[in-house]
């Protein structure tokens, strides 16, 4: 679609006649000269992400295998849930990380190393995702994923994805999408009994979806009665209109304008680093 486009829906029978012939009009909207007011915007957002497989020699952990099948699943999960036209995934050479990976602080040390790499990349918008097998016990505060809250800076375009030993591929893809949501400046939405509480600005009760979801790649439908937003810890998840709009607004502010130096409010810590969300279902999320 192009900006300014409008839609008019006419129901017709098999012979091409508008239906119903009498009673309520089969045309929406019912005045021909008043097209539906659907706001549309340029659909040119492309998500660029570099995946960095991480080997952990101190633990004897090989880097995860980023097979074509796995990459396709991640690609599809991101493309179908985010307001972007395309997702470009690239795989960097394996990164041998000399540190341990058994505490949250050790996870964050890896995050800092990835951030340094990101800052050396001149691309205005490219997410750097370090991916490793969580093959050793990590204390309960460790994250299955660690996201950096997007604040418009390159420094906030980093995340960790810790593949859990028994996790399904679907769960791992959910964690990836969730962390990317943080990179787009999104906070958690409510999961009853788990992280946080109801947020007054979230439009639906119980943290459920605020509208029906449709996976344009698979055709699968997600009903608001039993599906949560992917920024929640509850599952199953899909994209709420609330999160979709938030990511879209962030993307328009920072992805489209990345080369144009558009200014926007930025969130910074005293250390000059974006806040981090350590995400682990069942554990409280803490910021630093
Ligand atoms: Zn999170």
| C-beta of residue 264 within 8 angstroms of C-beta of residue 256 | no
Contacts 24+ apart (CB under 8 A), 25-33: 32/8
More confident residue, 285 or 208: 208
Choose among 116, 125, 127: nearest CA to 158: 127
Q: What is the mean pLDDT of the chain?
A: 83
- Cα 148 to middle of ligand 1, angstroms: 9
- Cα 59 to middle of ligand 1, angstroms: 26
Domains delineated in the chain: 1-40 (no CATH), 46-279 (3.40.390.10)
Q: Tell me: the pLDDT tens digits for 186-217?
A: 999 988 877 666 778 898 888 999 888 888 89
Pure H helices in the chain: 68-81, 104-120, 169-183, 241-251
Helices 68-81 and 169-183, interaxial angle, to 10°?
Answer: 50
d(CA 193, CA 77): 26
Query: Vertex 228, ends 240 and 158: CA angle to 5°?
Result: 70
- Give mean pLDDT, residues 125-129: 96
DSSP 8-state secondary structure symbol assigned to residue 13 = -
Q: What is the pTM of this model?
A: 0.81
More confident residue, 222 or 17: 222
d(CA 220, CA 60): 40
- Cα 286 to middle of ligand 1, angstroms: 10
Place of tokens 């005293």: 270
- Cα 259 to middle of ligand 1, angstroms: 28
Burial of 22 (0-12, 13-18, 19+ CB in 10 A): exposed
- Cα 182 to middle of ligand 1, angstroms: 7
- Cα 227 to middle of ligand 1, angstroms: 17
Residues within 5 Å of ion ligand 1 by Cβ?
Answer: 277, 279
- Cα 14 to middle of ligand 1, angstroms: 49
Choose among 283, 277, 48: nearest CA to 179: 277
Q: Tell me: the pLDDT tens digits for 19-74?
A: 665 666 666 655 555 555 454 566 678 999 999 999 999 999 999 999 999 999 99
Q: What residues contact residue 245 under an 8 Å CB cut-off, 6+ apart?
A: none
| C-beta of residue 75 within 8 angstroms of C-beta of residue 87 | yes
């Amino acid at each position: 679609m192009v900006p300014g486009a409008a839609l008019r829906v006419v129901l017709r029978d098999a012979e091409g006649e508008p239906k119903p012939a009498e009673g309520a009009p089969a045309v929406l909207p019912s005045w021909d000269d008043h097209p539906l007011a659907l706001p549309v915007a340029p659909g040119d957002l492309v998500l660029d992400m570099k995946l960095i497989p991480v080997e952990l020699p101190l633990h004897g952990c090989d880097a995860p295998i980023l097979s074509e099948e796995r990459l396709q699943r991640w690609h599809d999960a991101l493309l179908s849930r985010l307001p972007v036209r395309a997702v470009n995934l690239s795989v960097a050479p394996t990164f041998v990380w000399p540190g341990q990976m058994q505490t949250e602080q050790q996870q964050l040390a890896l995050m800092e190393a990835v951030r340094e790499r990101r800052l050396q990349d001149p691309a205005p918008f490219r997410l750097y995702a370090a991916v490793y097998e969580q093959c050793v016990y990590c204390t309960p505060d460790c994250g299955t994923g660690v996201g950096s809250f997007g604040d418009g800076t390159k420094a906030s375009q980093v995340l960790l994805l810790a593949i859990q030993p028994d996790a399904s591929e679907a769960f791992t893809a959910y964690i990836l999408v969730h962390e990317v949501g943080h990179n787009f400046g999104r906070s958690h939405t409510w999961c009853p009994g788990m992280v946080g509480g109801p947020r007054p600005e979230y439009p639906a009760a119980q943290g459920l979806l605020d509208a029906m979801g449709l996976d344009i790649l698979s055709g699968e439908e997600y009903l608001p009665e039993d599906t949560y937003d992917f920024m929640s810890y509850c599952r199953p998840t899909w994209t709420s209109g609330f999160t979709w709009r938030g990511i879209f607004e962030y993307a328009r502010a920072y992805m489209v304008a990345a080369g144009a130096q558009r200014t926007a409010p930025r969130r910074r810590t005293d250390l000059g680093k974006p806040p981090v969300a350590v995400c682990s279902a069942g554990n409280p999320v803490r910021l630093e």
